[in-house]
Chain A
Amino acid sequence: QVRLQESGPGLVKPSQTLSLTCTVSGDSIISNSFYWSWIRHYPGKGLEWIGHVYYTGTPYYNPSLKSRVTISVDTSKNQFSLRLSSVTAADTAVYYCASTLHDYGDYPSDSWGQGTLVTVSS
């Protein structure tokens, strides 16, 4: 079973860049079984897919966030990362990293981190 753990600042100022890292254990990030995903949850509201990346580095992004998002993989550390630029209060959410099954037509995420609350405020 893959285990994932998010880390990063819990408070980011408006207009700055949100940066989070997900550490993967229990499996190698160099796996053809998974994509590595970022998903956020607005408190009291729904889930939003941010994007996912394959271990080769090929990313796929939510079109509504594409201009601000970068997801990358560090195979040497078994980690993947999220950068979201020019944040506003609307980016305040719980951010999850997850492993997403490759070659499944619905891209189901079968393991999730515990989530980290990121608040955008001055």
Chain B
Amino acid sequence: SYDMTQPPSVSVSPGQTARITCSGDSLGNKYTCWYQQKPGQSPVLVIYQDKKRPSGIPERFSGSNSGNTATLTISGTQAMDEAAYYCQAWDGSSVVFGGGTKLTVL
């Protein structure tokens, strides 16, 4: 099965840039999407096809994907961005999620 690895936690100061990575074998050859999930809430799609933002998602959210690593970047991080973030890809026969990263805004 295909594995995608995320750091368990990332910390950032308000106003700074947060980068959350997702690593997998030749992940750059696949499209990757990202979800934000706050406690007690359903996940929200924030990035799809590596770098596209759904309507309603702030411009401070951006994505990239190259080599073995996809990256979710949050510029000018706000307190409301504190949440768990999950990457997702299709491995050819099934959807695969990364283990998730808890973003803390200190």
| A residues in contact (CB < 8 Å) with B | 37, 39, 41, 45-49, 52, 60-64, 96, 101, 104-110, 112-115
- The distance in angstroms between the C-alpha atoms of A96 and B53, with both chains bound, is 22
* Given A47-B86, A106-B90: A96 in contact with B54 (beta carbons within 8 A): no
- The distance in angstroms between the C-alpha atoms of A104 and B30, with both chains bound, is 11
Complex partner residue of A115 from B42, B90, B95, B98, CB under 8 angstroms: B42
> Does B89 lie at the interface of the complex (its beta carbon under 8 Å from any beta carbon of A)?
yes
Known: A63-B93, A108-B45. 13 other contacts (CB 8 A): A45-B100, A47-B35, A47-B43, A49-B94, A49-B97, A61-B94, A62-B94, A63-B1, A104-B48, A106-B33, A106-B48, A106-B88, A113-B42
> Does B99 lie at the interface of the complex (its beta carbon under 8 Å from any beta carbon of A)?
yes
B99 to chain A, nearest CB (A): 5
Complex partner residue of A104 from B37, B49, B93, CB under 8 angstroms: B49
For chain B, the count of residues having a C-beta within 8 Å of the partner chain is 27
Q: Are A46 and B86 in contact (CB under 8 A)?
A: yes
B10 to chain A, nearest CB (A): 15
> Does B61 lie at the interface of the complex (its beta carbon under 8 Å from any beta carbon of A)?
no
* Given A105-B30, A106-B30: A46 in contact with B99 (beta carbons within 8 A): yes
Q: Which residue of B lies closest to A61 (CB)?
A: B94
